Structure formats: structure tokens, C-alpha cells
Structure 1
């Protein structure tokens, strides 16, 4: 019975040695979120609206 207990203890201790491997860890690439704000869209639309309004009034 002691041999079985000793064999079980050795097998448990041996499996802990193989817990890791030599391969480098694979890291997921970090996602970078860039806030984009364009003020050009807010300026161009009213200017085009004024040009169209001026063209309608001029006719």
C-alpha cells in the first residue's frame, strides 16, 4: 500500500513540472481606438448651402 501511495505522490509531483512549456506566450494585439473628429464637415455644408441659396436668389 505504501508503494501505491508513493507512486501516486511521485506522479502528482512530476506533473507539476510539466505545467508550462518553452514556447513564448502568444499575446493578443492591443486594440487602439482613435477618436476622429472632423470640423471640416461642419463648415463645408453650411458654406455650400449659402452658395446654393445665393444662386437661387440671384436668379
Structure 2
């Protein structure tokens, strides 16, 4: 009788372990690298100091 009760308990425990089924795997998207903004930001860093230099040169030459 103990063996039957033990077998029944194990079968119930095993069936509840698989009750949820298998989940779909979660796949994360690959990161996207934007190369256009990286090259344009390096050009923008050069234009602003040159414009400031031209403004200072114009102010000095006007005096």
C-alpha cells in the first residue's frame, strides 16, 4: 500500500512540473550602429572652432 501511495505522489508531482509547457525562447535584437552620425559629429567639431577663429580675426582686424 505504501508503494502505491508513493507512486501516486510521484506521478502527481511529475505531472505538475510540466503543466506550463515549454516557453518560446526570447531573442534580443542585435544593436544597430549608426555610422553616419559618428562621421558627421567629427566634422562638426572642426567647423565651430574655425568659425570662432574667423570671428576673432575679423574683430581684431577691425580695430
- The alignment's TM-score, normalised by the length of structure 2, stands at 0.55
Could you tell me how far apart the structure 2 residues matched to 1:2 and 1:44 are?
85
Larger proportion of helix: 2
User: Unmatched 5+ residue regions in structure 2?
Assistant: none
**Once superposed, which parts of structure 1, at least 4 consecutive aligned residues long, lie more than 6 Å away?**
none
User: Unmatched 5+ residue regions in structure 1?
Assistant: none
In the alignment of these two chains, the number of paired residues is 57
Q: CA RMSD in A?
A: 2.9
- The alignment's TM-score, normalised by the length of structure 1, stands at 0.57
